[in-house]
A and B are shown apart, each in its own frame.
Chain A
Amino acid sequence: MKVSLNWLKRFVDFDLTATELAEKLTMRGFESEVVSDFDSLEHLVVGEVLKADKHPNADKLKLCSVLDGSGTYNVICGASNVDAGQKIVFAKVGAVLPGDFKIGKAKIRGIESFGMICSEKELGISEEHDGIMVLDESFKVGTPIREVLGPLFNAIDVEVTPDKAFGLSHRGIAREVAAIVGTKLKTPINSVKLNPQSKNIIKVELDKRGGCTRYIAGTMKGVKVGPSPKWLTEYLKSVGQKSINNLVDISNFMLLEIGHPTHIFDLKKFAKPAIKVSWAKNGEKFKALDEETYELSKDHLIITDTKNTVGLAGIMGGLDSSVTDATTEVLIESAYFDPVVIRKGSKKLNLLSEASRRFERGTDPNSAVEAFNMIVQLIQEVAQGTLESVITDECSMSLDNTYIDLSSEKLLKYAGQDIPSEEVESLLNGLQIDTKKTKTGWNCSIPTFRTDLIVETDLIEEVFRCYGYENIKSSFNYSSIMQYANDEESTISSLKHHLSSIGFRQSYNNSLEDFEEVKLFGKDAVSVINPSSEKMNAMRTTLHTGLLKNLDFNYRNGCSNTLIYEYGTIFEGKSDKLEDISQKSSLSCLVHGDIFVKNVHFNSIPASFAFLKGVAANIFEEKRLGFKVKFLEKKHHYCHPYFSIIDGKKQILGGIGIIKDSLLKQLDISHKHEVVVLDVDTEIFTDYGTYSTKVEDIVVFPIVQRDLNFKMDSSIRVGDVVKTMKSVNQSLLQNVTPVDIYQSEKDKSFKDVLFSLSFQSSKKTLEDNDVNLIITDIITIISKKFNAKLRDN
C-alpha cells in the first residue's frame, strides 16, 4: 500500500524522512520501500521555461531555455506539453532521480542538453509520463524541489501482511508511527457530529443467518456531483490515485484514511429507500460496477432494496445503482461483513476489490460509525448534500474491547531472556493496548481495531517486534559432540556420487509435464486441475520424460554425448483420491553417444547398452551382497529390448532397456545412436545400504587360466554358453569371460568366440590334471548342446 508521509501527519507528528520511516517500519514487521524521498534528492530546483522552440534536427523534440534562478541552460525536452512561461521541475546535471537515474550532460541530435525537465513518473509521484509536471506559478524559481514537492509527495510503499488488517490505512500506519516515536495519535475524525434535518427512517433488515452483523445507513439529498477540491485531489495524488469526481474521491479518500470500506448508492435508482441484506439465489445474475456480469450462488451475500440487488456485499456495488454525474440523492452504507463470507464470495467469482481485501482480513466494527460520519460530513462540505434521514444502525455484534492474559513466565520462556516489566507495559501501551497487572503477568485490553490479537502468543509477538528482534540476545546450546542425526537417503546420496564420479551428470527436471506426452509412457498420470499452462498439467510418471528432453536439448545445442541421471519423485494413479496416488522416489540414468570420444590414445568408447549394463551390475555388486545380478528379458511399453535386473532372491532391483524409435519420434527427440535407460529401485537400494559387509578369507592358491575357442552358429547367445560352462563345475571354475568374437566377412552364419576360464581352489594349488578333467567335460557339453566346434588355438 502506498503511504504518503504528508497524509500520516494528519494523525501523528513525526520528524523522519521517508528513508528513515521505511527502515523503522520494516524492522517492526511492515516491510517498506521508499517510493519518493524528496529529502534525498539533490540538484533539483524549481525552473522556469523561458523559451521552448522546435529542435532544429528533430520534429518531436523541443529546445528549451530553462532558468534555475542563477543561470540559464539549454535543455532538450521530448514532452509535447512543455511551453514557455511554465514553472517546472528542473533536474540539473549531477542529479540522481528515483531508480538510480543519473542526469548528465548529453548531446541529443547534435545539440547539448544540460539537465532534464521531469515528468511525474520520473519523480516517482505517479505513472504519468505523457508530459512534464507543471508546477504552481507561485513557486519561486531556484527553490530546491524538496521544499516544494517533499511535503506533498514523500511516500513509501508498505507491504501489509494478511494478519495486520489494521495496517491497510493511513490511520493504521500512523498508529505504528506513533508507537515508534513515542507519541499519541491526533484524532481528526471523532469530532464529527451529525445533525439530521429529517425524521425519515431507512429501514435496514439483516439476514438472521449472519454474514452482516452491523449495517449503518442514511440518505442525503441535494448532492452536486462535480470536481473535487484541490486538497482532496492532492491527497489522492500523493498516493498515486487519480481524481474522478467528488463523490468517488470521497469514498476512496475514506478508504485510505481509516481503512473502512463504505459505499455510496444513487438512491433514485432504488425501488424504495430501504436495505435488506440477504443471500443470493443460485444462478442469480449481477452486473457490477466494473461492468461485468457475475453469476452468483447461495454463498454470496447481497444488498437489496428489498426488491432488486444493488450490491454484492463487501465486494462491489451494482452498476445500476451506482452514482453518476446526474446523481442528486444518495444512500450511504457503512457496514461490518463477516471475513469468511467475503473471502468465499470474492474467491468464487475471482473478483477482488479494495473493499473485499479489507473485509476479508477483518475490519473494526467501531470504525464503521467513524467512516459513516466522515462520509456524510465530507459530502456536506464538498458536494453540498444534506442529511435526509435519521441514521439507522442495525447492530448485532459486540463493540467492546476483548481481554487477553499475558503471562510473564511464558514471555520469558518464549524469549529465552528477561524483558523488563515496565518495558513490556510501555510497548503494549504504545500500541493502545491497556495493561493491568495480575499475579502472573498482565490482563490486556485489546482495542477492536486489532482484529489480529486473539491469543497470548499474538501479544508475545507484539512485545517482541516492538522490543526489537535485534535486542533479543541469541543463544547457542548445542554440545560440541555430534548428536544423533540421520538421513534416510544417505545410501542414495552415495549412489549419486558414484554415478557422478564415473561421468554422469545429475539433472533436475520439472515434475509437471504435458499430459499428452506423459500418456505416451503408458501409465495413469495424475493431472493438475488448475494448471498454469497446458504444457504442465500432469505429474511425471517416469524420470525418462525429463531425461529425454535433456538429451534433446543438449543434442540441439551441439552436444550429442549424454550421460545423465536424475533422482526424484514419480507419480501414478487416479487423481480423484489421494490414497490411490502412488508417490515414489526413483532413479534413472540415460546414456547416448560416446563415453570417450576418439583421441590420439584410443578410439571412441560408446555409451552403449553394454556400458549401462556394466554400470547396473556394478552399483549393486559394489554392495558386496555375495551374488551377481541377473538380467531377465521382459516386455516393455516403450523399450526394446528391456531387461529386469534381479538379485539372488529374485527381487527386481531395476531395469535396463533401449528406448523404441517410435517413442523418440513421437516426442521428437533428436538423437543419432541408441538411447539406453537404466532404472534403479531406490527403495530396495536403500535397504541394501543397511547391509554390512562380511569379509571372506582371501584364497592364497593361484588362479589357473585357460582359453577355449569355439566356432558356433551366429544365432547362439554367448550368455547362454557362459551359463552352461559355469554349470559344469561350480566349485573350481570361478569365472568365464567371453574375450573375443570373430566373424568372417564371407560367412556370417558362424562366429568364433574365445572364452577365458579361470580356475581356483580354496584348498590347494590346482594341478594341470584337475583342470583338464573339467575342460574336457566343458568341451563335450558345449559341443553337444550348442553344436559348437572347438578350434585349435
Chain B
Amino acid sequence: MSLNKTIKGLKTSFSKELSKSKTSQELENFRIKYLGRNGKLASLFEEFNKLPANEKPRFGKELNILKNQLTNLYQDALGNNNENSSSNDTDFSLPGYSLPNGSIHPLEQITSEIKSIFQSIGFSVAYGPEIDDDYHNFEALNVPKHHPARDMQDTFFVNPNAVLRTHTSNVQIHLMENQDPPLRHICCGRVFRNEAVSYKSFCLFNQVEGLVVNETSSFAEMKGTLEYFVREMFGKDTKMRFRPSYFPFTEPSAEVDIWNSKLDQWMEILGCGMVNPNVLSNVGYDNKKYQGFAFGMGIERIAMIKYGIKDIRLFYQNDKRFLEQF
C-alpha cells in the first residue's frame, strides 16, 4: 500500500520541481535526481522487486505507466526549454544558404511552352537537319531556283547546293517523305538568315512550325487551332486577327497579328496557310485527296513580346545578369 502512496507523492514532487527547472543545467540535475540510474524512479523499481509475487502484476503495470508519464513530462520540458533558449546558441538572423540556382534559357522556356500547348492537342514534335540541300529548303516547298520569293529569305550557302536552312519547313518535307498522312507535327529548331546583326535581327533564330495533313483539315480548322494557341500562350482575352499574306509553300496564306495594348498597335506573331498542293505532290501525296495547313513562328519574337526584351542579341550573349532573371 505504501508503494501506492509513494507513486502519488513522487508524481507531485516531480511536477513541482520540474516546473522550477529552467536552465539546461537545472534540467540535467533534475533528470539525474528523478530519472537517473540511481534516481527516485529507479529506487521505486527496486522496492517493486521486493514485492510479493501476487502483487507484482498490478504494480508493475502502474510503475510502467508512471515511468512513461514522467519521461514524457521531462522530454516536453526539455523541448520547451530548447525552443526558448536555443536562440542563445544559434544566430537565426544569418542569411540562409541553399543549392545554387541554375536556369533554363528563356528561348527554351518559350519553346517548351509552345510545344506543350500543341502536344496537348496531339501534335508530335520532330526535328531535322540544320544544313540541308536546296531541294528540301526551297524547291520541294514550291520555291523554284529563280523565283523572287527567294529574296524573302537571305540565305547562307555552304556549297552551291547546300544551305543553312532558312526555316524549319525542311523538316516538313523530310517528315512527309517518310510517312503517309495523317500527320500532325510541330518542328522546332534553329534557322539562319544572312542579315546584318542588329538589335532587331540576328544571323539565326529559333522557329516552331506546325503541319497538319489529312483529308479534311480546313482553313476554319487552322483558324481554330491557332486561336487556341494564342489564347493559351498570350492569355484568354488576347485580340487577334488573320490577314492575307503570301508564302510560296502555302495558299491561301495568312499572317496572324495580336493586339499590343501598350503600344497601341498590331504585332505580327506568326505566318500560316493551307499547304500548297504543289508541296503535297512534291512529296508524292495525292493532292486531290489530302489537304492541310501549316504555320510557323519565331521564338525570339514571341520571347521579346512576352518578356519585354528590346535587343535580340541578348539571347545569344549569355550574360549571367540576363540569364539569372529567368
Contacts and interface: CB of A to CB of B under 8 A. Distances in A.
A478 B95 CA distance: 51
A464 interface: yes
A164 B245 CA distance: 10
Nearest to A356: B148
Nearest to A576: B159
A487 B190 contact: no
Given A163-B246, A485-B124, A595-B100, A529 B148 contact: no
B254 interface: yes
6 closest A-B pairs by beta carbon, nearest first, are A416-B218, A483-B122, A416-B220, A29-B244, A503-B100, A474-B223
B149 A162 contact: yes
Given A508-B105, A601-B97, A28 B122 contact: no
Interface in A147-200: 161-164
A409 B118 CA distance: 30
B204 A599 contact: no
Contacts of A539: 131, 158, 164
A361 B220 contact: no
B169 interface: no
A360 B316 CA distance: 37
B246 A578 contact: no
Contacts of A569: 130, 190
A202 B16 CA distance: 132
B127 A484 contact: no
18 contacts: A31-B245, A415-B219, A415-B220, A416-B219, A457-B274, A489-B127, A493-B112, A496-B108, A500-B103, A505-B102, A508-B315, A575-B158, A578-B131, A578-B161, A581-B162, A595-B100, A599-B97, A600-B94
A531 B254 CA distance: 32
Contacts of B291: 413-414
Interface string A9-48: 0000000000000000011110100000000000000000
A557 B159 contact: no
A494 to B, nearest CB: 12
B319 A505 contact: no
Contacts of A507: 105, 318, 323
Contacts of B131: 526, 539, 571, 578, 581, 583
B316 A509 contact: yes
A505 B251 contact: no
B324 interface: yes
Contacts of B190: 511, 568-569
Interface string B207-224: 000000000101111011
Interface string B156-199: 11111110100000000000000000001000001010111100
Contacts of B103: 500, 505-506
Contacts of B123: 485
Given A504-B102, A508-B315, A472 B219 contact: yes
A244 interface: no
Given A164-B246, A457-B252, A506-B105, A528 B157 contact: yes
Given A550-B318, A553-B319, A457 B221 contact: no
Contact of B147 (A161, A343, A488): A343
B104 interface: yes
Contacts of A533: 197
Contact of A512 (B100, B129, B204, B223): B204
A536 interface: yes
Given A162-B148, A361-B148, A458-B251, A557 B319 contact: yes
B317 interface: yes
Interface in A517-569: 526-533, 536, 539, 546, 550, 553-554, 557, 559, 562-564, 568-569
B115 interface: yes
B276 to A, nearest CB: 7
A329 B324 CA distance: 73
Which among B149, B159, B195, B248 has the highest number of chain A CB atoms within 10 Å? B159
A307 interface: no
Contacts of B1: none
Nearest to A466: B244
A700 interface: no
Nearest to B115: A487
Contact of B219 (A464, A500, A571): A464
B220 A475 contact: yes
B104 A474 contact: no
Size class of B's contact patch?
35 or more
The listed residue with most A CB atoms (<10 A of its CB), out of B131, B242, B321, is B131
A510 interface: yes
A554 B323 CA distance: 11
A455 B119 CA distance: 34
A539 B227 CA distance: 38
A663 interface: no
Given A532-B194, A532-B197, A469 B121 contact: no
Contact of B104 (A27, A31, A163, A497): A497
Contact of A485 (B122, B225, B277, B319): B122
Interface in B26-71: none
B320 A559 contact: yes
Nearest to A529: B157
Contacts of B306: none
Contacts of B245: 29, 31, 161
B101 interface: yes
B10 interface: no
B220 A474 contact: yes
A344 B148 CA distance: 10
Interface in A462-497: 464-465, 469-470, 472-478, 482-489, 493, 496-497
B194 to A, nearest CB: 5
B28 to A, nearest CB: 29
A530 B157 contact: yes
A335 B242 CA distance: 38
A390 to B, nearest CB: 36
Contacts of B218: 413-417, 475
Contact of A563 (B100, B112, B192): B100
Contacts of B94: 600-601
A568 B253 CA distance: 31
B304 interface: no
B126 interface: yes
A349 to B, nearest CB: 14
B224 A477 contact: yes
B184 to A, nearest CB: 8
Given A474-B227, A487-B124, A457 B251 contact: yes
Contacts of B104: 496-497, 500, 506
A473 B320 CA distance: 46
Contacts of A424: none
B177 to A, nearest CB: 16
Contact of B122 (A484, A511, A562, A564): A484
A505 B324 contact: yes
Given A475-B220, A599-B95, A469 B243 contact: yes
Contacts of A415: 218-220
Contact of B321 (A493, A502, A557): A557
Contacts of B161: 578
Interface string B103-115: 1110110001001
Contacts of B121: 478, 483
Contacts of B159: 529, 575-578
Contacts of A344: 146
A458 B276 CA distance: 10
B220 A417 contact: yes
Given A510-B203, A569-B130, A578-B161, A162 B100 contact: no
Contacts of B324: 505
Given A497-B104, A508-B318, A529 B219 contact: no
Given A474-B227, A554-B319, A576-B159, 18 more contacts: A27-B243, A29-B243, A31-B243, A31-B245, A163-B248, A164-B246, A415-B220, A469-B223, A474-B220, A485-B120, A497-B104, A499-B102, A507-B318, A528-B164, A532-B156, A553-B318, A553-B319, A578-B158
